[in-house]
Amino acid sequence: MSIDKSKITVTQFVFTIVCFIESSAVLSSFSVGISGKDSWFTMIMGYLVFLILVFVISQIMRRYPDKTLIEINNEVFGNVLGRIISVFYIWFFVTLTSLNLLDTQVFASISIMTKTPPIVLMATFMVICVWALRNGISVMTRYMTVIGLLAFAITVFAFIIAFQKFHLSNLLPPMQQKPIVYVQASHIVSTIPFGEIIVFLMLTPNVSSSSKKYGRYILIGTLLGVISMLLVAIRDIGVLGETIKYFTVPSLETQRVSSISKIFSRLEVLYTIIFTALMYSKIVVLLYAATAAIAQFFKLKTYKNISLLIAALCIVYTLNLYDSGISHGLSGMLVVPFLWSFIEYILPILTLCVILIKSKFKKEGTENDAVRVNGKRGNLSLGPSLGN
Amino acid sequence: MLFALMASAAICLLDLPSAIRTKEKREITIVSILSALVIILCFLQAFGVNLPKLMTLINEFFMWLGIYYKM
C-alpha cells in the first residue's frame, strides 16, 4: 500500500517523466565531455540500452501495481534480504537528490546568483521542495504538464534563435573516434539520466489508471524527454563545435551567443528560468522517493513527518559529496556509471528474475496440488465402483 | 551556523510536533532519533568538522578495485 493516498493522472505521470529526463540536459556534460560532436549518437545508443530497463520496470510494476519499491523488496526477497536491498535504494535516492541539488547550486552560482552563498541557494530550493512534498504527490506533480510543455517550447524556440550560428559542419565527420569512447558515453547516458527512472517505482501505487500499461507510459515519457535532449545536443554541437567539451553547461553558452539582431539577445535568462523549474520537478520527485522509502523502511505512518529532516540531511550531504568540482566531473565520467549500473540495472533485473522463478514454483505447486486433489477425487469415485 | 540553527528550528517546530501528534510511541521515537542525528550533522558541518566525503571515498574504492574507465 502506498504511503501517500493521493492519486495522480496518467498525464501527470508521463509529464513528470518528461520533466525528469529534460532536466538532465545539464548533466549531458559528462557524456559530451567524452564523445564531443558524436554525443547525439551516444544519446540514441544509451536510450536503446535503457529500453531493457523499461521492460524490466514495466514487468515489475505490472506484477505489483499497488506496492512501492521498498514493499516489493520485502515481498520478493523476504524481510532480511529485502531490507538490505532497500538500504541500497534509500542511499541511492538520497545521493541522487543531493547530486542534483549540487548541480542546481553550481548552475545558479555560475549563471545567475554569483555572489549568493551556496548554502542559501540550496536551503531556499529545498524549502520549496518540502513545501510541495508536504502537500502530497498530487500537488507536487500538478504543474509538471505546464513545465514539460514550456520546456519543450523554449527548446524549440532556442533552436530557431540559434540557427544563425548553427554550422552543420560542426557535426561532421561522424563516428571518427575509438569504439570505447562510444561505449563509455552510451554507458553514462544509459545510467545517469535514463536509469534514474527506477525512482518511479516509488510512485506506481499513486497512478490512477485502469489499464496499468506502465511500460507504455514510461516509454512515451522518456521518448518525449529524449527528443528534447537530442534537440538540445544537436543545437549545442552545431553552435559550439569541438569546444563543447570544455563547458560545464554547454546549453547556457549556446544561449549566450545566440541572438536575432540586437533585440533578441541575452536569451540565457529563458534557459535559466526553465532549467530551475525542471530541476525543481526532478528534485521534488527524488526527495519524495527518498522520504517515502525511509518512512516505509522504518514502518512510519506518513512520510510528511520526516520531510524536513531528510531535506536538511540532503543539504549537509551535498556539502560533503566531493572534494572538488573536478572530482565530481571525473567521478561522473569514470566511476559513477558502474556504481549506478548495479543499482539501476542489476538489482531490478535480479528482482524480476526472483519474481519469475517464484511465480513458476507457485504455479507448479498449485498444479501439483490440483493433480493431488483430482487424484483423491478419482479414488473416491473409484471406491463405490470397485465395491459394485 | 545560521543554516544549522534554522534547520534545527524547522525540524523541532514542524517535523517533531507532527510526529508527536500521531501519539504513537514508535513514530515519535524514530522521528526523534533521526532528527537528533540530522541536527548533530548540521552542527558538525557548521563548526567546520571535516566530515568524510562519501562519493570521493567510493570513487577511490572503485579505482582501487580497478572498476572504472581508463582515460
| ipTM value | 0.91
Q: What residues in B contact A331, CB-CB < 8 Å?
A: 55-56, 59
Per-residue pLDDT of B8-57, as tens digits, reads 777 777 778 888 888 888 889 998 999 899 889 888 888 888 888 888 88
**B56 close to A (CB below 8 A):** yes
List, in sequence order, every residue forming a beta bridge with A264; answer none if it has no partner: A260
Specify the range with the lowest mean pLDDT, choosing from A176-190, A257-271, A349-363.
A257-271
**B68 close to A (CB below 8 A):** yes
Q: What residues in A contact B26, CB-CB < 8 Å?
A: 299-300
Q: What residues in A contact B69, CB-CB < 8 Å?
A: 180, 184, 333-334, 337
**Per-residue confidence at A249, pLDDT binned at 50, 70, 90?**
confident
The pLDDT value given to residue A388: 37
CA–CA gap between residue A338 and residue A96 (Å, rounded): 15
**A181 close to B (CB below 8 A):** no
The pLDDT value given to residue A377: 62
Helix/strand/coil for A96: helix
**B6 close to A (CB below 8 A):** yes
DSSP-assigned letters across all residues of B4-71: HHHHHHHIIIIIHHHHHHTT-HHHHHHHHHHHHHHHHHHHHHHTT-----HHHHHHHHHHHHT-S---
CB environment A314-330: b (16+ within 10 A), e (fewer): bbbbbbbbbeeeebbeb
CA–CA gap between residue A238 and residue A166 (Å, rounded): 5
Distance from CA of B20 to the nearest CA of A (A): 9
The pLDDT value given to residue A80: 93
Instruction: Please indicate whether, in this complex, the C-beta atoms of B14 and A308 are within 8 angstroms of each other.
Output: yes
Instruction: For residue A173, say if its preceding peptide bond is cis, omega within 30 degrees of 0.
Output: yes
**A176 close to B (CB below 8 A):** no
The torsion angles phi and psi of A290, rounded to 5 degrees, stand at -65, -45
Specify the range with the lowest mean pLDDT, choosing from A292-296, A306-310, B45-49.
B45-49
Q: What residues in B contact A334, CB-CB < 8 Å?
A: 59, 63, 68-69, 71
Distance from CA of A145 to the nearest CA of B (A): 30
Q: What is the percentage of chain A residues whose pLDDT exceeds 70?
A: 94
**Which of B18, B41, B62 is nearest residue A339 as measured by Cβ atoms?**
B62
**A322 close to B (CB below 8 A):** yes
Instruction: Please indicate whether, in this complex, the C-beta atoms of A312 and B11 are within 8 angstroms of each other.
Output: yes
Does residue B6 register a pLDDT over 80? no
Q: Are A4 and A303 a contacting pair, CB within 8 Å? A: yes
CA–CA gap between residue A90 and residue A238 (Å, rounded): 40
The torsion angles phi and psi of A261, rounded to 5 degrees, stand at 50, -145
Helix/strand/coil for A376: helix
Mean pLDDT of A102-124: 89
* Domain annotation for chain A: domains and CATH numbers: 10-344 (1.20.1740.10)
**Cα separations in angstroms, A8 against A5, A207, A259:** 10, 5, 40
CA–CA gap between residue A211 and residue A240 (Å, rounded): 45
Chain B interface disruption, residue of A316, A318, A327, A336, most B CBs within 10 A: A316
Instruction: Please indicate whether, in this complex, the C-beta atoms of A338 and B62 are within 8 angstroms of each other.
Output: yes
Mean pLDDT of A8-18: 92
Helix (H) or strand (E) holding A216: helix A214-240
Q: What is the percentage of chain A residues whose pLDDT exceeds 90?
A: 43
The pLDDT value given to residue A288: 95
Q: What residues in B contact A300, CB-CB < 8 Å?
A: 26-27, 30-31
CA–CA gap between residue A104 and residue A116 (Å, rounded): 13
The pLDDT value given to residue A13: 92
Cell 529500453 sits on residue: A51
**Per-residue confidence at A385, pLDDT binned at 50, 70, 90?**
very low
B23: alpha, beta or left? (left if phi > 0; alpha if psi -120 to 50): left
Largest CA distance in chain A: 107
The pLDDT value given to residue A387: 40
Per-residue pLDDT of A142-177, as tens digits, reads 889 999 999 989 888 888 888 888 888 888 888 888
Question: Domain segments of chain B: what residues?
Answer: 2-65
Chain centre distance of CA A355: 23
Choose between A376 and A276: higher pLDDT.
A276
Q: Are A60 and A355 a contacting pair, CB within 8 Å? A: yes
**Which of B19, B45, B52 is nearest residue A305 as measured by Cβ atoms?**
B19
The pLDDT value given to residue A2: 61
CA–CA gap between residue B34 and residue B38 (Å, rounded): 6
Q: Are A227 and A44 a contacting pair, CB within 8 Å? A: no
Q: Are A123 and B1 a contacting pair, CB within 8 Å? A: no
**A320 close to B (CB below 8 A):** yes
Across A137-141, A292-296, A358-362, the highest mean pLDDT is recorded for: A292-296
Instruction: Please indicate whether, in this complex, the C-beta atoms of B68 and A338 are within 8 angstroms of each other.
Output: yes
The pLDDT value given to residue A383: 46
Mean pLDDT value across chain A: 87
**B71 close to A (CB below 8 A):** yes
Torsion over CA: A27, A33, A37, A40 (sign):
negative
**Per-residue confidence at A211, pLDDT binned at 50, 70, 90?**
low
**Which three three-digit cell numbers place residue A41?**
549518437
The pLDDT value given to residue A192: 87
Indicate the pTM of the whole model. Answer: 0.90
Distance from CA of A88 to the nearest CA of B (A): 14
Helix/strand/coil for A260: strand
Choose between A245 and A347: higher pLDDT.
A347
How many residue pairs from chains A and B have C-beta atoms closer than 8 A? 96
**Cα separations in angstroms, A194 against A43, A105, A383:** 10, 22, 64
Distance from CA of B54 to the nearest CA of A (A): 6
Per-residue pLDDT of A53-86, as tens digits, reads 999 999 998 899 889 999 999 999 999 999 999 9
